[in-house]
């Protein structure tokens, strides 16, 4: 056993038609959220930081989706500064975890395009855990569930708001802890009933599952 850092990145888009030679991708990190899970499978610390984009801009859609406004990132440090602060916060022997490999790829792209030294992230990239993939494997399914669906199926009441870096990291952490602690973790009863009836076809209404859940 060891420490796990569950992280979530929020990104903005580059302006339409803007393609700087030095940055080859369409999105840029504007927030890093993370939680630390210790070897007793408890969340013992949290990390959150805004990042000022060098090329992208925060449009109304992303602002509405994430709750991040232009004031949050206007005077924030650039990624090269934030990533070094984040690296200091991460225990040296920790394993990084995220929901899907999107955040892994985004970090790789930005390290490369912005000429940021990998540091310990070279090791973290090699041992990275895709929680989404592991969740699908646990359900013996090839379907890539989104985080909101997975939390409901795993019978976990999410905290905070979706698409906030820290809140998504925290909720992914809760799910990952449940997977670590239980080889056969308890699933939502409505999901199990639907799975049995439809022979592993996920046909239930997500609204049905939400009906008895009070979200914060």
CATH number of the domain at 10, please. Answer: 3.30.420.10
pLDDT the model gives residue 212: 56
pLDDT the model gives residue 206: 55
pLDDT the model gives residue 60: 96
Low-confidence ranges of the chain (pLDDT < 50): 200-203
pLDDT the model gives residue 191: 76
Query: How far is residue 57's CA from residue 113's CA, in Å, rounded to a whole number?
Result: 17
Packing angle, helices 131-138 and 165-181, rounded to 10: 40
**CB neighbours of 196 closer than 8 A, spacing ≥ 6?**
none
Question: Which residue blocks in the chain are alpha helix, DSSP H?
Answer: 60-66, 70-74, 79-89, 102-113, 121-127, 131-138, 147-153, 165-181, 189-198, 206-210
CB 28 within 8 A of CB 110: yes
pLDDT the model gives residue 137: 93
pLDDT the model gives residue 193: 74
Q: Judge whether 57 lies within some domain.
A: yes
Q: Judge whether 188 lies within some domain.
A: yes
Segments forming the whole domain that contains residue 19: 4-210
Residue 6 Cα to chain centre, angstroms? 7
Query: How far is residue 11's CA from residue 180's CA, in Å, rounded to a whole number?
Result: 29
pLDDT the model gives residue 115: 97
Instruction: Write b or e for each residue in 157-185: b if 16 or more Cβ atoms lie within 10 A of its Cβ, otherwise e.
Output: ebebebbbbbbbbbbbbbbbbbbeeeeeb
pLDDT the model gives residue 203: 47
Q: Judge whether 215 lies within some domain.
A: no
Interior angle at CA 205, CA 199 and CA 206, nearest 5? 115
Give the other-Cβ count within 10 Å of 61's Cβ: 10
- Let me know how long the chain is: 216
Q: Judge whether 79 lies within some domain.
A: yes
HSE at residue 198, side-chain half, CA atoms within 13 A, is: 11
Q: Judge whether 216 lies within some domain.
A: no
- Domain count for the chain, please give it: 1
């Amino acid at each position: 056993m060891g420490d796990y850092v569950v992280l979530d990145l929020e990104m903005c888009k580059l302006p339409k038609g803007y393609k700087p030679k030095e940055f080859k991708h369409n999105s840029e990190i504007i927030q890093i959220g993370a939680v630390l899970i210790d070897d007793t499978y408890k969340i013992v610390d949290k990390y959150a930081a805004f990042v000022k984009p060098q090329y992208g801009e925060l449009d109304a859609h992303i602002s509405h989706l994430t709750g991040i406004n232009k004031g949050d990132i206007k005077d924030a440090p650039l990624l090269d500064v934030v990533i070094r602060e984040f690296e200091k916060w991460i225990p040296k022997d920790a394993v990084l975890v995220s929901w899907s490999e999107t955040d892994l790829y985004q970090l790789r792209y930005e390290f490369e395009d912005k000429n940021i030294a990998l540091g310990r992230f070279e090791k973290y990239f090699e041992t990275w855990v895709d929680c989404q993939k592991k969740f699908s494997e646990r359900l013996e399914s090839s379907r890539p569930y989104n985080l909101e669906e997975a939390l409901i199926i795993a019978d976990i009441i999410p905290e905070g708001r979706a698409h906030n870096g820290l809140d998504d990291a925290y909720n992914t952490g809760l799910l990952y802890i449940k997977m670590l602690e239980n080889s056969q973790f308890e699933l939502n009863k409505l999901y199990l009933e639907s799975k049995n009836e439809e022979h592993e076809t996920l046909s239930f209404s997500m609204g049905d599952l939400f009906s008895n859940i009070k979200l914060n």
